[in-house]
Amino acid sequence: MKTSFIPYAETGFFSSLILDYISGKTELKEFYEYAPELSSFAKKINDRKDSTVERTILADVLREQNEILKANERVCANIELLRKNNTFTLTTGHQLNLFTGPLYFIYKIISTINLAEKLKQEFPDCNFVPVYWMHCEDHDFAEINHIHLFGKKLEWAEEHHGAAGEISTVSLRSLIAELKSILGESTNANELVNLFSEAYLHHSNLADAMRYLCHHLFGKYGLVILDARDKRLKQIFIPQLKQDIFENVNYKAVSESNSALEQLGYKTQVNPREINCFYLTDGKRERIVKSEKGYEILNTALVFSKEELENEIATHPEKFSPNVVLRPLYQEHILPNLAYIGGAGELAYWLQYKSMFAAAKVSFPVLVLRNSVMVVDETVKVKIEKLGLAAKDFFASEEKLVNEFIASHSASDTALVDEQQQMKELFQSVKAKAKQVDVTLEASIEAELQKQLKVLEQLESRIQRAEKKKHETSLNQIKSIREKLFPANSLQERHENISTYYLRYGSGFIDVLKQNLQPLDRRFLILEPSTLERAV
């Protein structure tokens, strides 16, 4: 198959923290337990066998959620396997996106599924269940209310400030109609629009819509989808909620880790709060803060005494919503989890949490960087080949690409470096002779040298502009190709939606990704048309 790779370090899009993590830099080893390698999982499985997880409650909750969904047999079988002590989860988490959001959401899910299958091959006596943890309580609607498609931004015109899972999907009818007009009337277009319509218009809220959509796309691979808002699950987490709210243990632990990372020269992703928990009330998700009055719920009139808040936690734990610091601890507390599969930004903040996990006596997962992909369509591939370039060349900056192309296609070197050096040597000789006659002439000769060097710079610039004009068509193609592969100067996977590729390849696009994304691979994958066409 036509695939190629580029090391993450050569892409220019990954932080030094993540590059150092996946390369095993010694200074970072205190911030995680197990390296992201296959050999780590034998140790991790042994470690996780000793931890207590309320498997019956977990499986019962999942069974009920998936009965509503009418999940397929493979998903139901995976849920029942979770009752057994030799079954473990591999988890990824993500917000509730509109129409699946950017492409990397798809890559996260497939990376998780493939890792579960890889571990089953390696450890046949155990079972491994891929889990998508829906971030149903996130409330940053502006992050999830749009997609980019064919250079156009489709935006959901809805006002919402509470938990995303509760957002009504009724108002999406007009946006789906707009999407249909953009995609057209092909078989694949109709199939995709019908899928989105069934998901968003036949389910009353965003959580149910997203659960349906993801099950339709990935259920055949056994993906289990979890909505962790259930009261029974949060009851399990009550001791940790109290520690966070009343003792601020997580604030102290993560702050210390942040200081240690910053001393090593890394930027920290997340700043903990003294209380890392929100309160859900009247369609809102608001912070809990301690004040002179007691425990206030911001932007409301609610104030609790310590005793009242303890009682509220005991009777209504479902009203307490972990933030980005506390949520990972909640996840690992209720799941028999081995690894978290996430993007570079996510792993960066997970690396801040090991000390928090240690303080809570909760097992810290293996942190696995999800696969990253750049898809090159047939039209772009043909243009790249005509230019004598490869897709991976476009990870370089536009300026570097242009300069290297001109240099490789010029009849002669347009840089006047040798001429500048000759000019300097000539004036050095003149200065030496003039100095013997009158030492005061040296300054004027140096000034004249600088004038002549400036003339050479101007001539060099004119020659290079002429050279660029000579290759103007090719250079414009380079710019348009790079914009296609890196829209808004960002990774394609962070900008484009699956609709672009589903339109051409249908559901086979997901099958191609499934075949080619290799778990634990530390290289960026480039997929080209022959790979896609052969598999679809």
Model confidence at 523, pLDDT cuts 50, 70, 90, reads very high
Concatenated DSSP letters of 369-416: EPP-EEE--HHHHHHHHHTT--GGGGGS-HHHHHHHHHHHH-SS----
SS3 (DSSP) at 366? strand
Kindly tell me if the per-residue pLDDT of 532 is higher than 60: no
Residue with tokens 């005061």: 440
Point out the least confidently predicted range of 39-48, 66-75, 298-307, 409-418: 409-418
Q: What is the mean pLDDT of residues 440-457?
A: 86
Question: Quick check: 162 pLDDT over 60?
Answer: yes
Contacts 24+ apart (CB under 8 A), 505-512: 505/188, 505/532, 505/536, 506/187, 506/188, 506/191, 506/536, 507/191, 507/217, 508/532, 508/535, 508/536, 509/536, 510/106, 510/110, 510/217, 510/218, 511/535, 511/536, 512/536
Predicted confidence band at 459 (pLDDT cuts at 50, 70, 90)? confident
What is the pLDDT confidence band of residue 534, given thresholds at 50, 70 and 90? very low
258 lies in some domain: no
Asked if residue 448 belongs to a domain, the reply is: yes
Query: Is 424 among the domain residues?
Result: yes
Output the CA torsion sign for 148, 154, 157, 163.
negative
Which residue segment(s) compose the domain that 441 sits in?
390-490
Residue 465 has pLDDT above 80, yes or no: no
Residue with tokens 């796309």: 217
Q: How confident is the model at residue 370 (pLDDT cuts 50, 70, 90)?
A: very high
Alpha-carbon distance of 140 to 105, in angstroms, equals: 17
> Is residue 425 predicted with pLDDT exceeding 50?
yes
Q: What is the residue type of 518? A: Q
- pLDDT-derived band at 467 (thresholds 50, 70, 90) equals low
Lowest mean pLDDT among 4-8, 380-384, 406-410, 448-452: 406-410
pLDDT in tens, 235-264: 999 999 999 999 999 999 999 999 999 999
SS3 168: strand
Contact 102, 496 (CB under 8 A): yes
Give the confidence band of 424 by pLDDT, cuts at 50, 70, 90. confident
Closest CA to 28 of 488, 348, 340: 348
Residue 404 lies in a domain: yes
Give the pLDDT confidence of 182-204 residue by residue, as tens digits: 999 999 999 999 999 999 999 99
Could you tell me the two tokens for 12?
Answer: 């220019």
For residue 375, the number of C-alpha atoms closer than 13 Å in the C-beta half-sphere is: 26
Residue 142's CB is within 10 A of a number of other CB atoms, namely: 8
- The average confidence (pLDDT) of the chain is 93
For 523, the enclosing helix (H) or strand (E) is: strand 523-527
Residue 374 contacts residue 527 (beta carbons within 8 Å): yes
Tell me if 365 sits within 8 A of 329, measured CB to CB: no
pLDDT tens, position by position, 48-76: 987 789 999 999 999 999 988 888 999 99
**Cβ within 8 Å of residue 130, ≥6 positions away:** 89, 90, 91, 92, 109, 112, 113, 115, 116, 221, 222, 223, 224
- pLDDT score for 415: 66
> CA angle, corner 300, sides to 294 and 306, nearest 5?
20
Q: Could you tell me which residues are beta bridge partners of residue 70? A: none
User: Domain for residue 481, yes or no?
Assistant: yes
Number of H helices, E strands in the chain: 23, 15
Give the closest residue to 337 by CA, choosing from 358, 313, 363.
Answer: 363
**Would you state the pLDDT for residue 205?**
95
Whether the predicted pLDDT of 77 surpasses 60: yes
Using the structure block, give the residue that is written with the tokens 């050096």. 421
Beta-strand (E) ranges in 229-302? 277-281, 284-291, 294-297
Residue 455 lies in a domain: yes
| Least confident span in 101-105, 126-130, 345-349, 430-434 | 430-434
Q: What percent of the chain has pLDDT over 70?
A: 97
Residue 395 within a domain: yes
CA distance 492 to 503: 17
Assign 24 a pLDDT band (cuts: 50, 70, 90): very high
SS (H, E, C) 107-146: HHHHHHHHHHHHHHHHCCCCEEEEEEEECCCCCCHHHCCE
Strands (E), 411-520: none
**pLDDT for the residue 413:** 61
Domain count, the chain: 1
- State CA 265 to chain mean position distance: 22
Within a domain: 431:
yes
Give residue-wise pLDDT tens across range 217-239: 999 999 999 999 999 999 999 99
Segment 491-518 shows an average pLDDT of 94
| Average pLDDT estimate for 361-366 | 94
